[in-house]
Amino acid sequence: MADKLMTINLKVWRQDGPDRPGRLAPYTVEGVNPHMSFLEMFDLLNERLILGGEEPIEFDSDCREGICGSCSMVINGIPHGPHRGTAVCQLHMRHYKDGDTLTVEPWRANAFPLIKDLVVDRGAFDRIIAAGGFVSVNTGSAPDANSLPVEKAKSDAAFDFAACIGCGACVAACPNASASLFTGAKIAHLSLYPQGEPERRRRVIAMVNQMEAEGFGDCSNHGECEAVCPKQISISAIAIMRREYVKAVVASND
């Protein structure tokens, strides 16, 4: 590669365990190829740390193509870094300059307890889905797939919400650490589909209650969640969730 290699200065959150003190530790990474992804730069740094007898930085990552939702780094205060619609695994170093200094921290929220370094526990999201983020249809009991037509526009809109990868950037970006975009996206997806209709009231109440029980904050319309979402899920999901919630509560008072 003819491209000029860069030197990147990092300040990375290091914390040995959940109840241990944490700190920002400085690292200088030389020889960064601009075509590297952000995580590949971390791979490079970790190789050097191991060879130098230090412990590497733990971080979550898996698919490295922006779909599994594992990666979770806050770069200079922004979850997944500066590019819209991009998970940190898809962020490439060509967007940075030689000599840049970057601060890298984990998702921070009470509902996402820290495990080590940049790794947090996002189990709360699973529990929100388990509370109601599904259609109750046992295997083998489904009618023919084309027996219920779905308006294309609705189906496309539902897909836009269903594209959520559950990474938790919305929570990390929110000043209240609210999980409303995540929860609202699933509610919006299923409320736009006729298959989701029979359970819509029970679903929204159960999921919203679980979200509160997990310790996520309330939504106060900052819009940071939408801005950082790697799948660009619209904040209208939250409006749909609220509408569904009010309808469900009113209906249950009938």
Contact 237, 207 (CB under 8 A): no
125 binds other proteins (CB under 8 A): yes
Task: Decide: is 81 part of the binding site for other proteins (CB under 8 A).
Answer: no
Compute the residue count for the chain: 254
Distance CA 112, CA 120 (A): 6
What is the rounded distance in angstroms from the CA atom of residue 162 to the CA atom of residue 170?
15
State which residue, 137 or 251, has the beta carbon closest to other proteins: 137
| DSSP-assigned letter for residue 92 | B
Within 6-25, the residues that bind other proteins by CB under 8 A are: 16-17
Interface of this chain with other proteins, residues 176 to 195, rule: CB under 8 A: 189-190, 193, 195
| 121 lies in the site for other proteins, by CB under 8 A | yes
Check residue 123 for interaction with other proteins (CB under 8 A): yes
| Nearest CB to other proteins, comparing residues 64 and 108 | 64
The answer to whether 1 contacts other proteins (rule: CB under 8 A) is yes
CA nearest 171: which of 109, 254, 251, 97? 109
Stretches 7-15, 145-153, 171-179, 239-247: which one binds other proteins (CB under 8 A)? 145-153
Under the binding rule (CB under 8 A), the answer on residue 39 touching other proteins is yes
Return the residue of 21, 77, 99, 138 that touches other proteins, per CB under 8 A: 138
Please report, in angstroms and rounded to a whole number, the separation of the first and last CA atoms in the chain. 69
Q: Is 230 a binder of other proteins (CB under 8 A)?
A: no
According to the binding rule CB under 8 A, does residue 209 interact with other proteins? Answer: no
Among 11, 22, 27, 64, binds other proteins (CB under 8 A): 64
Closest CA to 171 of 210, 127, 225: 225
DSSP 90-110: G-BGGGS-TT-EEEEE----T
Taking CB under 8 A as the binding criterion, the range among 34-42, 98-106, 220-228, 244-252 that sits at the site for other proteins is: 34-42
Beta-bridge partners for 14: 23
Do the Cβ atoms of 240 and 196 come closer than 8 Å? no
Among 24, 25, 50, 250, binds other proteins (CB under 8 A): 50
CB of 53 to other proteins, least distance (A): 8
Contact 193, 158 (CB under 8 A): yes
